[in-house]
Amino acid sequence: MFIVSFLYSCVGHAGASGYIAAMTLFGLAPAVIKPTALALNILVATIASWQFRRAGHFSWKLFWPLALASVPCAFLGGYLDLPTRVFKIAVGLVLLSSAARFLLGPPEEPKAQPPTLPVSLGIGAGLGLLSGLTGTGGGIFLTPLGIFLRWDRTKTIAAVSAAFILVNSASGLAGVISKTRTFPDVALTIALAAAAGGTAGSYLGSSRLPHTAIKRLLAVVLAIAGFKLIFA
């Protein structure tokens, strides 16, 4: 959990897809995995949001319409329990292709082209639903999308993704708990390792690593998440 949170938080993510993969390998029940991943997401995303904001990378203008539309949809996705095998394979292939593009694509930072308000609201709603359904915070989808569409600098998008993950993980967890009325104890036992990794990783990502290194790390994160969705 330390390694997962360290790697993911370097790029403004909280590690849900990695936590899900690790817990699946250790044989935890699906009913335990989803809320635990979301709870750890909330913890690590809080740390990453603070680190990236403190370093001056956060953009409220880019964040608020995405969050406004995503939060209620994340709650709905967390409440629903749908058969999503085909959906996960399709998303996994998208993430793997995104990883390849980051590894092979140009390293320079493009000129920012912020999205319009209707586009932000629509994307926020869709990603919020995805985050709730998959037990992630949505950043695994938001970051590559924002970079591909050239919304802003890499670290700004990472900062927005961290905050996006935080609000959607909280909403998704609320949806899960409203249905199950329980919370897994295992989340508390592994929270310390996740917090330590998130603190170290988000510090490096926000203050020390250049944007090219963040994109390469993001490719690794996307590849891990893609393989997890396809083969888990």
Residues 6+ apart with CB under 8 A from 73: 124, 125, 126, 128, 129, 132
Alpha helices in the chain (DSSP H): 2-9, 16-25, 30-54, 60-79, 85-104, 117-134, 139-148, 154-180, 186-203, 211-231
Chain CA centroid to CA 74, Å? 13
Domain segments of the chain as ranges:
2-231
pLDDT by 10s per residue, the chain, length 232: 898 899 889 888 888 878 887 887 788 887 788 889 889 999 999 999 999 999 999 999 999 999 999 999 988 887 876 665 766 776 777 778 778 877 766 556 667 889 999 999 999 999 988 877 777 778 888 988 998 888 999 899 999 999 999 998 898 888 888 887 888 888 888 999 999 999 999 999 898 888 788 878 888 888 888 887 777 6
CA separation for the pair 1, 177 (Å, rounded): 23
- Contacts (Cβ under 8 Å, ≥6 apart) of 39: 169, 173, 183, 184, 187, 191
The CA–CA distances, whole Å, from 52 to 7, 23, 153, 203 equal 15, 28, 13, 8
